[in-house]
Amino acid sequence: MTTIPSAHLRVIEFVGLPGAGKTTILKEFRQHVLGAPSFLFDINDLKPSPRDRLPRLGKVFSLLSLLLFFATHARLYREMLLYGFRARRLSLQMFYKVFSYIRVAYFIDVEKKRQREDCQASLLLDQGLVQAIGSMSVPSSGKPLPSPKRLVDILVMKRVDMIIFLECDMWQALERIKQRSHGGSRFDIGARTPLKKLELGRMESALRRTVNECKLAGIHVLTISSKQAVDKSVAQIRHWLIDEVAAI
């Protein structure tokens, strides 16, 4: 079992292609986090499971405070839209995605400000901020991938403390997507089509570039192979966290 000591909320994001095994490994890893509540947070619905619900979550997402966050983070919204425009065509879906990602940033900011020493916790992100930058690169419009540096600086830094990057090539991800019946990604429908393969390859490149940029920015990153067994991956994450947290 692993204890993650922290005087504040420590955000650990799991990053990888659909089918890489993020959710499977994350859920298994949660069983090995001791000492404080760990919250599984999914960007798709912004609702932790009922058993892990944060205190006064409804108040956190009050409309007034969210609007205030948008007003004071106009640059963040602008930079995300610019990145999306450079990477793909503008669409209503992209505006909705950007809004959803900024809500995640807001959620993390609010929880980190609390910093209650009597309630240490680790926020485990599945479909988080780093993943969001990769997701914004598809569908492709034939444009080259823009640099993620500015978004890493203003969106990820000071919010994400550690990244678990599940390395998975496009072909392995495609095979896993075809075999699963519970997936909810855009690639679970029509994964066999040439267009979906192209988009998955583009997302793979975007994720690698973003994770590398995070490394250069000083964020702690662990890269593990999605080909290895789940229990081996969990053990590798546990040992890495013990070393990395001690060094932070």
Domains in the chain, ordered, with CATH? Answer: 2-247 (3.40.50.300)
pLDDT at 116: 52
DSSP string, 199-243: HHHHHHHHHHHHHHHHHHTT-EEEEEETTS-HHHHHHHHHHHHHH
Max Cα–Cα distance, the chain, nearest Å = 52
pLDDT at 195: 59
Please give the model's pTM, rounded to 2 decimal places: 0.80
CA-to-CA distance for 103 and 74, rounded, in angstroms? 13
Give, for all 248 residues of the chain, the pLDDT tens digit.
444 445 567 888 999 998 888 888 888 887 766 444 455 554 544 444 444 444 444 555 556 666 777 777 788 888 888 888 888 776 777 787 788 788 888 888 877 776 554 455 677 888 889 998 988 887 666 778 889 999 999 999 989 999 999 998 888 887 777 777 665 566 665 555 665 777 888 888 899 999 999 999 999 999 999 889 988 998 898 888 877 665 44
User: Exposed, middle or buried, 14 (CB in 10 Å: 0-12/13-18/19+)?
Assistant: buried
pLDDT at 156: 92
3-class DSSP state of 33 = strand
95-116, pLDDT tens digit by residue?
877 887 888 888 888 777 765 5
User: Going by C-beta distance under 8 Å and a sequence separation of 6 or more, which residues neighbour residue 16?
Assistant: 22, 131, 165, 166, 167, 168, 207, 226
pLDDT at 217: 93
pLDDT at 232: 92
